[in-house]
Chain A
Amino acid sequence: MTVSFKFDSLQYLDTDGAVVFEPLPEWANDAAILIPLYRTMVETRAFDAKAVALQRTGQLGTYASSLGQEAIGVATASVMTADDVLLPTYREYGAQFWRGTTMAEILLYWGGDERGSDYAGPRGDFPISVPIATHACHAVGVAYAMKLRQQPHAAVCFVGDGATSKGDFYEAINAAGVWRLPVVFVVTNNQWAISVPVSKQTAAETLAHKSVAAGIAGRRVDGNDCLAMKQAATEAIDNARNGRGPTLLEALTYRMSDHTTADDASRYRSAEEVDAHRLQDPIDRLRRYMESRGLWADAEEQELHDATAQRVEQQVKVYLDTPAPAPQTMFDHLYATLPRAFDAQRQAVIEEK
């Protein structure tokens, strides 16, 4: 006997921003909801371009671009409260900016400075996570704490398509399921794990299918459709918050950039393929929709463009003006109080010229 599961992908807007599925969510006509989403996506993209430029001019270390994926993080974060906890990978700047992490902080991180992860804004959010999927287990722990305290909060954990092959991921969704935890796993399926396409990553029909193995809710959504993303995230986070358990939310998108600034994606994928996905740009799509509803116009676009450029410049300046920390600070925060055993080493660092 074979059993098959079907996961439809939620989509409201097509690539031109025209409505292809109804009914739309009730807030879909609310400029007060839509414009902040749009603005944050635009800021994220402008920041992203600037970060790449900084790396190319030797002013930033390796950087992982989020180009083309802005809607997923921004829309999801727009559903979260200050008490929820975000556990990102390294392409969720949109979500992080929405929640108060600054561009300068992200630049400091990629610029090789730990202070970049000491977020002044969202004090409980996890920092960028590099060892793939390991933070999925952290999300389980965070969510467990929330449930134990009976708080109506949620942990939102972003992973990529490659991460869903990893043991940490399976262990995490399994535990989240058996403990019925308030956690949402947003799987950003951007089709590529460095050079490995999703087709080589798994035989599962979709990544959402992995939810079945864990016994948790699974959902698919067009990750470049901001409205659909926000709606799917709302349902998932709502369920989590209210004791209805975790969700694995697969958001479909495309990694428009190289894996990192040191990667050259042309080695393993064609320019034509990348170009074709330009049509699915999330920012264009939301703008066209807003324009069609009379909620946005050229004047606002120009204003946003200018304001964004200014903001990015200001934040870059903050970053570039931050001097490197004193070398002995590598001993700071190693423990709550540096044990005596390491005093001599610390002193040696101070004395070294």
Chain B
Amino acid sequence: MKIFKLPDLGEGLQEAEIVEWQVQVGDSVGADQPLVTVETDKAVVDVPAPRSGQIAKLYAAVGEIVEVGKPLVEFTDGDDVRSDAGTVVGSVEAGDARIAEKPAALARGKTGIKATPAVRALARRLDVDLTIVSPSGRDSVITKADVERVAKRLAELGPPELLRGPRRTMAQKMAQARSEVAPATIVDDADIHDWAVDTNHTVRLVRAIEAGCVAEPSLNAWFDGYSLGRRLLQKIDVAIAVDTTDGLFVPVLRDVGNRDDDDLRRGLETLKADARARRIPPAEMRAYTITLSNFGMIGGRYAAPVVVPPTVAILGAGRVRDAVVAVDGAATVRRIMPLSLTFDHRAVTGGEAGRFLAAAIESLESS
């Protein structure tokens, strides 16, 4: 309440005289605290504050008579309209929040493996990965028998060999590549018939990559799939895939654009020797911008090699062969190098890839 009126003092008394104010304007009072002393016909009584609050106004002076029900004291806040509690017990909170609900549907989740909790617990106990268990139950439910069957098979096979070192790294990187990259592949052939006999294939391939990068810089880039951003890189650092008995190594030939052929050749020799001797520091297998996989030295023609993020392209060279091709309308035998360019289509267009490959082939086919 804002205005406190002189309350009923009992005994049918209708008025009282102000004897003494216990508070002044501006005072803060607590509930039940004496506000004013008044005198009636019968007695001198203290009138307590009905609420806590700050005094804004006193309605009578000492010695004045106030009638029951007339204003006595005004508080600085409050209102005199008794708001409807809207209940007879407790308190039903009212809020101002507005809600606007849109109808929702059940979320589409993935349908996973079907197995009862008991079967799942059994699989855990027997160390069986449910993803490798073929369900034999109705509705593709994995049964207890299924789990036991697989456990038995695995026991016969013995524990798996845990991947280490480069094989482990390869498994992890390829899995990452698989989950992130949108690969597309173009294949073509380069006519290297006119190469000199002692031509260093790898150096020529590196130069071809350089030519491609010059023609289409977007293949020499790092792509960030999370922010959807790419960085076009000035330097061309080519990762060279090296096959060893321990697995795949990918040492990096740095800054090929600013090195001459001899330098490149020496660099490659060093890389290969170091790779075979397991001497390459980890730093030298990181931060490359594009990859070369010369798998043709082992075998194979065309491939769709894996693009490892954050790079966006990998050039694969297959086994050089003599092939019958058309030259000036006539069939003839030429030395042919098959090429496969796999690119991350999130960052590179087909046109860019095509032009890259054309430039690479032009570089390879030049004398």
Contact = CB atoms under 8 A, between A and B. Distances in A.
Contact of B8 (A263, A278, A302): A278
B82 to A, nearest CB: 6
Contacts of A212: none
Interface in A253-284: 259-260, 262-264, 266-267, 278-279, 281, 283-284
A262 B52 contact: no
Chain B contact residues, majority secondary structure: loop
* Interface size range of chain A in the complex: 20 to 34
Interface string B40-55: 0011000000111000
Interface string A284-305: 1001000000000010011000
Contacts of B88: 62, 194, 259-260, 262-263
Nearest to A283: B10
A264 B43 contact: no
A177 interface: no
Contacts of A262: 85, 87-91
Contact of A56 (B8, B51, B87, B89): B51
B43 A61 contact: no
Given A264-B84, A264-B85, A61 B90 contact: yes
Interface string A142-160: 0000000000000000000
B262 interface: no
A57 B51 contact: yes
B12 interface: yes
Contact of B84 (A57, A267, A281, A301): A267
B90 A298 contact: no
Contact of B82 (A260, A266, A279, A301): A266
A122 B89 CA distance: 27
B31 interface: yes
Nearest to B8: A278
Nearest to A52: B50
Contacts of B84: 264, 267
Contacts of B101: none
Nearest to A54: B31
A284 B12 contact: yes
Contacts of B42: 298
A53 interface: yes
A264 B82 contact: yes
A302 B43 contact: yes
A132 to B, nearest CB: 13
B31 A284 contact: no
Contacts of B10: 281, 283-284
Sorted nearest first, the 4 A-B pairs with minimum C-beta distance are A263-B88, A262-B85, A62-B89, A57-B31
Given A262-B85, A278-B8, A281-B10, 14 more contacts: A53-B32, A56-B50, A57-B52, A61-B90, A194-B88, A262-B87, A262-B90, A263-B85, A264-B84, A267-B84, A279-B12, A284-B12, A287-B11, A298-B43
22 contacts: A53-B31, A53-B32, A53-B50, A56-B50, A57-B31, A57-B52, A62-B88, A194-B88, A259-B88, A262-B85, A263-B85, A264-B82, A264-B84, A266-B82, A278-B8, A279-B12, A281-B10, A284-B10, A284-B11, A284-B12, A287-B11, A298-B42
